[in-house]
């Protein structure tokens, strides 16, 4: 299956006379995301630990770039357009607020009167409304005006709140943005993700499961010996099941750990020498290759050879591979994200977000100029709150802290 002409359509038609004839529509999508302010801001947003706390660890931007590199090659191997997958991978975290997933949780609570907050729905809002590139003939914003195929590839959760096909709190569109969602999902079965979105999602899982462990070991937050210790593995396995794959038995994660150790890629010690860093990088490269090749093989076994695109196939992720990936996620969660030190930091970050929501609601003149105009045009309190949420979600960690400090000194 190849891409149809409608896959290249844009929400707002653009004059081809203003375009280079030798540039592909999907390549143009990728360039628009790559040059966006929203992507640049990810350089100062938390991936696992705060930007600036360590020169080695990843930010949301470096994570997104790595996801894009993984996804581009993996998608192309299956027959997907590399630029469509690349665009989705670059864009997948654009809606994340400051302070990582904890910031998302706090903002969701405070945004309840406006319908809540969800990072994936915010990503769609950034791409189709907030990031300035095109406008409708009547002046309404059209965001980056990406093609139908690229927007659909970003839709990890293609449904509104409460309409998921399985039990999850995740969703991909706010009520206010349903018009563009319905446009790019036209003809797609409800709740069914296109293959490019599945490729993006698995590339994201692979990248952060492996790289978060790499960062944790390199920054001395995790001793690699824990992966060789049965008591430690047992604790992590319980968390992996509870947080990431509840449909799998605990033993599946214990067995996953044994398989990973048996590959010989997981170091037993780390002292920070150049040889240690090389061994750690070799671990990440080999694990990424392991996870991708297993899924590519399983997908090909089910769907055969030839180009797989859009809704022609579903990605096949074997349970043993999913268990291995989930175990690595749980290692970073247990030893980095759920520590007492991290909880203290998250408490301070929560106070920053609460302070900023109250401040912007009381003093909307503090909003950035483009959002101040949105606030002035809002017709109801829930719309005004949504604008405040848009503002806070756009902030980097450092700017959020500085603005909250300014509020406190007034």
Assess if residue 189 is contained within a domain.
no
Average pLDDT over residues 346-361: 95
Q: Considering 296, 325, 341, which residue would you say is the last residue of a domain? A: 341
Q: Are residues 131 and 161 in the same domain?
A: yes
CATH number where 141 lies: 1.10.3210.10
H or E stretch at 256: helix 250-262
Q: List the one residue out of 266, 1, 11 whose CA is nearest residue 152.
A: 11
CA-based angle 111:392:159, to the nearest 5? 50
Q: Are residues 150 and 252 in the same domain?
A: no
Q: pLDDT digit string (tens) for 202-250?
A: 999 999 999 999 999 999 999 999 999 999 999 999 999 999 999 999 9
Instruction: For residue 331, give the DSSP letter.
Output: H
Q: What is the mean pLDDT of the chain?
A: 94
Assess if residue 288 is contained within a domain.
yes
Q: Are residues 154 and 50 in the same domain?
A: yes
Q: Are residues 144 and 176 in the same domain?
A: yes
Q: pLDDT digit string (tens) for 29-70?
A: 999 999 999 999 999 887 766 566 666 678 899 999 999 999
Count of structural domains within the chain: 3
Structural domain that includes position 399? 348-409
What's the rounded Cα separation, in Å, for the pair 295 and 76? 14
Assess if residue 403 is contained within a domain.
yes
Q: pLDDT digit string (tens) for 142-177?
A: 999 999 999 999 999 999 999 999 999 999 999 999
Q: How much is the pLDDT for 51? A: 62
Assess if residue 190 is contained within a domain.
no
Q: Are 125 and 174 in contact (CB under 8 A)?
A: yes
Instruction: For residue 192, give the DSSP letter.
Output: P
């Amino acid at each position: 299956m190849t891409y149809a002409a409608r896959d290249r359509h844009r929400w707002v038609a653009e004059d081809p006379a203003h375009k280079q004839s030798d540039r592909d529509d999907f390549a143009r999508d990728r360039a628009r995301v790559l040059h966006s302010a929203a992507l640049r801001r990810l350089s100062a947003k938390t991936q696992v630990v705060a930007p600036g706390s360590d020169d080695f660890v990843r930010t949301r931007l470096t994570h997104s770039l790595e996801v894009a590199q993984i996804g581009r090659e993996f998608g192309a191997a299956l027959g997907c357009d590399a630029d469509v997958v690349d665009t989705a991978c670059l864009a997948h975290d654009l809606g994340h607020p400051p302070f990582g997933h904890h910031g998302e949780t706090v903002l969701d609570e405070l945004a309840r009167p406006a319908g809540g907050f969800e990072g994936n729905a915010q990503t769609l809002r950034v791409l189709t409304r907030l990031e300035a590139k095109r406008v409708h003939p009547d002046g309404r914003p059209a965001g980056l005006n990406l093609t139908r195929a690229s927007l659909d590839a970003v839709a990890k959760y293609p449904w509104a709140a409460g309409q998921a096909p399985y039990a999850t709190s995740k969703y991909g569109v706010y009520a206010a943005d349903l018009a563009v969602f319905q446009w790019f999902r036209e003809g797609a079965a409800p709740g069914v993700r296109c293959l490019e979105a599945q490729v993006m999602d698995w590339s994201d899982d692979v990248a952060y499961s492996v790289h978060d462990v790499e960062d944790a070991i390199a920054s001395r937050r995790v001793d690699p010996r824990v992966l060789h210790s049965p008591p430690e593995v047992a604790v992590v396995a319980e968390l992996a099941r509870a947080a990431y794959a509840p449909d799998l038995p605990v033993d599946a994660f214990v067995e996953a750990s044994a398989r990973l150790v048996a590959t010989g890629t997981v170091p037993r010690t780390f002292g920070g020498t150049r040889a240690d860093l090389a061994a750690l990088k070799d671990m990440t490269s080999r694990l990424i290759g392991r996870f991708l090749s297993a899924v590519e093989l399983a997908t090909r076994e089910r769907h055969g050879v030839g180009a797989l695109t859009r809704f022609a196939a579903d990605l096949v992720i074997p349970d043993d591979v999913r268990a291995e990936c989930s175990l690595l996620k749980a290692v970073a969660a247990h030893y980095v994200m759920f520590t007492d030190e991290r909880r203290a930091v998250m408490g301070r970050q929560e106070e920053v977000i609460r302070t900023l929501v109250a401040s912007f609601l009381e003093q909307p003149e503090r909003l950035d100029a483009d959002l101040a105009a949105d606030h002035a045009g809002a017709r109801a309190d829930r719309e005004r709150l949504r604008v405040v949420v848009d503002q806070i979600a756009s902030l980097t960690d450092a700017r959020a802290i500085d603005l909250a400090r300014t509020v406190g000194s007034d």
